[in-house]
A and B are shown apart, each in its own frame.
Chain A
């Protein structure tokens, strides 16, 4: 996919978003709507200019090819799914238990084969978190059904 195509997709999203939010802002009381509307107008105008630049330059098409390696491209999004499951885990199992499970699984997914590395790094992390956040800063970290 070329940089130009990516930019056009993003511009399309921005245009739809700014129009939709502008319509929502129409329902705001007078005064509360002014600033969001002005900001949305700026985003709309700049997006249109960005769209215009994608039609203007021929060089972009050839020089800025966005190379997608599908083997690697999925990893960040898979990481995000991991994170979502992890946050649910924090809510139900507590911070310490879910961090230990998530950390170990995530490291294994990323290719850490040495179990001692996983154990030492997670034990160090959780010890520092316990000493600093729980004992020193007294942050009530989420406790789940276990710890």
Chain B
């Protein structure tokens, strides 16, 4: 299916798409700037809202929320020294120092423009790289999708959880949970335990809301009673546009960090927090003003913020081409794609090209508008961040119930959400992570189908079958690399310590 640029632009600038982008941006900035709420949670809660919307408008709302939440995290990092999201932890160092020096306006300005730049660069990379890379998906036969799913799980397991082993257990639990319900090939109900609602399986949207959002509420209430008032500071040095000296100081760091961000985003499993720390360190290494870092360097803020927003577009590249999410939030987005009947791979750029290109161009537009709204909102954002968790927690709980119910108008889904809320809380409490479970649930049906086909084609020799296919061998090497790389890195580190 060929789509013209004018068709895509018309799709992006429709009333519905623009409203969706607007809601996504405002929602994202608010969620990102509130220290108790996360981008994962925001996207998970918003997925049910997109059911009744046009496919492209719904997806635009989610990607706009994703990138804006990452940017929003910098506002509280700068003004309150409390990163709204983990991706803004590096921003908090110099951002808050600048605030203490009465330069909060400068920090917010640099953070906003750097985030926009990083986001736009990643949007351009998304548009340029995904169509050719999607052809790689044509190399995969149906039987390879099992290995592809395992590879995706291995990558996300390593980064999302503190322990790779716990991450892998979480991922395989997700794949196992995906088998609950009627087996499509035999019609046999598996692991239903006499519960009628389980015959159709575990719906992943309520599960995802429970794992990410209700578990977050449970974490919030631990300290909600003791939470004091945030000390707020007025922004005194406000300007809409950065000064020439500010631009001169940060432009190289912004370009470098945007590149790093896109690359780290493309690597499945690595997220915005890693990109911002790497970019922050690189900016410090190459800077002429190394001593300023940690004491209020706008270069530090620029590096961290351009990198974490560059990750957002970067993480969509393996997601759209191979179905491997580059971050926890991208895993949720993968679920949203699949609900809309869109399978990552070449089809997205042929059969559904109009939707895909609309989302990618809309993502670029969303990043630019994020800057506009960000500049309008940022200095007043402290009023939002002052909402305490004791008020937010009941509101988010109500939204969890609402979101899980509205998907299938089923109270059973609400109970599923509650159960997964408890599971998610226990997992997060003890260094397991819900992201691999969600990914396992989403990829489960595809993985089982691929595995089933491999078993049939292998005629009893599964290992022999996989090792006879070059693409499978590459995937097995990648999986092994993902599993063993932490051990090898540890070994290298130990050797270096011994040498020194």
**Which residues of A49-97 have CB atoms within 8 Å of chain B's CB atoms?**
49-50, 53, 66, 72-73, 75-76, 79-80, 82-84, 86-87, 90-91, 95
Please give the distance in Å from A127's CB to the nearest CB on chain B.
Answer: 12
Chain B residues within an 8 Å CB radius of A132: 49
18 contacts between A and B (CB under 8 A): A24-B191, A25-B191, A31-B185, A36-B176, A39-B172, A43-B176, A53-B165, A75-B225, A76-B425, A83-B401, A95-B402, A107-B391, A112-B388, A112-B390, A125-B395, A129-B402, A141-B405, A141-B406
Interface size on A, as a range, is 35 or more
B225 touches A111 (CB 8 A): yes
Size of the B side of the interface (Cβ < 8 Å), in residues, is 58
Interface contacts (Cβ under 8 Å), in number, total: 160
Distance of B366 from chain A, by nearest CB (Å): 20
Cα separation A111 to B432 with both chains bound (whole Å): 30
Known contacts A32-B183, A132-B49: A86-B397 contact under CB 8 Å: yes
Listed from nearest, the 10 A-B pairs whose CB atoms lie closest are A110-B390, A76-B218, A106-B394, A32-B183, A137-B52, A39-B176, A139-B406, A35-B448, A32-B186, A103-B394
| Residue in A closest to B173 when the chains form the complex, CB atoms | A43
| Contact flag A76-B190 (CB < 8 Å), given A46-B165, A112-B390 | no
A10 interface residue per 8 A CB criterion:
yes
Alpha-carbon separation in the docked complex, A84 to B398 (Å): 12
A51 to B225, CA, bound (A): 36
B175 at interface, CB cutoff 8 A? yes
A12 at the binding interface (Cβ < 8 Å): no
B410-437 vs A: 1/0 string, CB under 8 Å? 0100110010011001000011100000
| Shortest Cβ gap from B184 to chain A (Å) | 9
Main SS of the interface on chain A? helix
In the complex with contacts A34-B452, A111-B390, A79-B218 CB distance below 8 A:
yes
Partner of A32, one of B185, B222, B415: B185
A28 interface contact, C-beta 8 A: yes
Does A84 contact B418, Cβ atoms closer than 8 Å?
A: yes
In the complex, the answer to whether B405 meets A142 with C-beta atoms within 8 Å is yes
The answer to whether A102 touches B394, judged by C-beta atoms less than 8 angstroms apart, is yes
Give A contacts to B, CB under 8 Å. Answer: 3, 6-7, 10, 14, 21, 24-25, 28-29, 31-32, 34-36, 38-40, 42-43, 46-47, 49-50, 53, 66, 72-73, 75-76, 79-80, 82-84, 86-87, 90-91, 95, 99, 102-103, 106-107, 110-112, 117, 121, 125, 129, 132-133, 136-142
Measured CB to CB, the closest approach of chain A to B22, in angstroms, equals: 14
Q: Are A50 and B166 also in contact (CB < 8 A) when A39-B172, A39-B175 are?
A: yes
Max count, chain A CB within 10 A of own CB: residue among B176, B183, B218, B225 = B176
Min distance, Cβ B250 to any Cβ of chain A, angstroms: 38
Closest to A129 in B: B402
Residues on B with beta carbons closer than 8 Å to the beta carbon of A3: 430-431
Of residues 170 through 223 on chain B, the ones whose CB sits less than 8 Å from some CB of chain A are 172-173, 175-176, 179, 183, 185-186, 188, 190-191, 214, 217-219, 221-223
A80/B409 in contact, CB under 8 A: no
Known contacts A90-B411, A137-B49, A106 near B179 by CB under 8 Å? no
